[in-house]
């Protein structure tokens, strides 16, 4: 009984400490603010969930470029599944040269092309597609040997933006 009470107090202390540390600009404890956004998301696949959790762990361990790449991977996997909600009917109509029967078939096409197709099927407006292309460009800078070295703030902002984009797309239907 006493051991369980000690565990409870320890968890409570840890949560309070993370909350205080999350206010410091340089603190990796700021991931807690993204955790709350993450918890508000609707249902994700196991793969998307794991990729996003890996991204958050990368931020906690100061692996900011990796955090960008993992978050983007989760987002793209979500988009592939979202495009398949109608068995890829709208996508095949918009892109008749694409032979798509499952989400894995979309991996044959560049992320840039897939993002463009979101507008063609009515899931995104032109400005949203441009914003997503910008996020893709940032991901590319992180995945390739470039001079871009994001810090904590950039990584948290990037992951947060992708989480908000997923939440927005979850509310839309094809």
Domain boundaries, the chain: 2-170
Closest CA to 104 of 85, 80, 138, 131: 80
Burial class (CB in 10 A: 0-12, 13-18, 19+), 159: buried
Tokens of 51: 């990729």
- Look up the pTM and report it: 0.81
Closest CA to 33 of 43, 19, 47, 46: 19
Q: For the chain, which ranges sit under pLDDT 70?
A: 1, 13, 16-37, 40
Round to whole Å and give the CA distance between 35 and 23.
Answer: 14
| pLDDT on residue 151 | 93
| pLDDT on residue 14 | 72
Alpha carbon 152 to its chain centroid, in Å, reads 16
Please, are residues 30 and 36 in contact by the beta-carbon 8 Å criterion?
A: no
């Amino acid at each position: 009984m006493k051991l369980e009470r000690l565990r409870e107090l320890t968890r409570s202390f840890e949560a309070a400490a993370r909350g205080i540390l999350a206010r410091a600009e340089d603190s990796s404890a700021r991931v807690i603010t993204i955790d709350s956004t993450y918890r508000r998301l609707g249902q994700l696949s196991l793969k998307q969930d794991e990729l996003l959790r890996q991204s958050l762990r990368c931020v906690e361990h100061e692996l900011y470029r990796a955090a960008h790449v993992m978050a983007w991977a989760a987002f793209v996997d979500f988009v592939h599944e979202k495009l398949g909600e109608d068995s890829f009917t709208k996508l095949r109509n918009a892109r008749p040269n694409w032979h798509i029967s499952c989400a894995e078939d979309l991996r044959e096409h560049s992320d840039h092309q897939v993002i463009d197709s979101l507008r063609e099927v009515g899931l995104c407006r032109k400005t949203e597609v441009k914003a997503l292309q910008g996020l893709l460009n940032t991901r590319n800078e992180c995945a390739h040997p470039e001079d871009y070295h994001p810090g904590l703030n950039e990584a948290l902002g990037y992951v947060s933006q992708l989480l908000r984009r997923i939440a927005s797309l979850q509310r839309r239907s094809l």
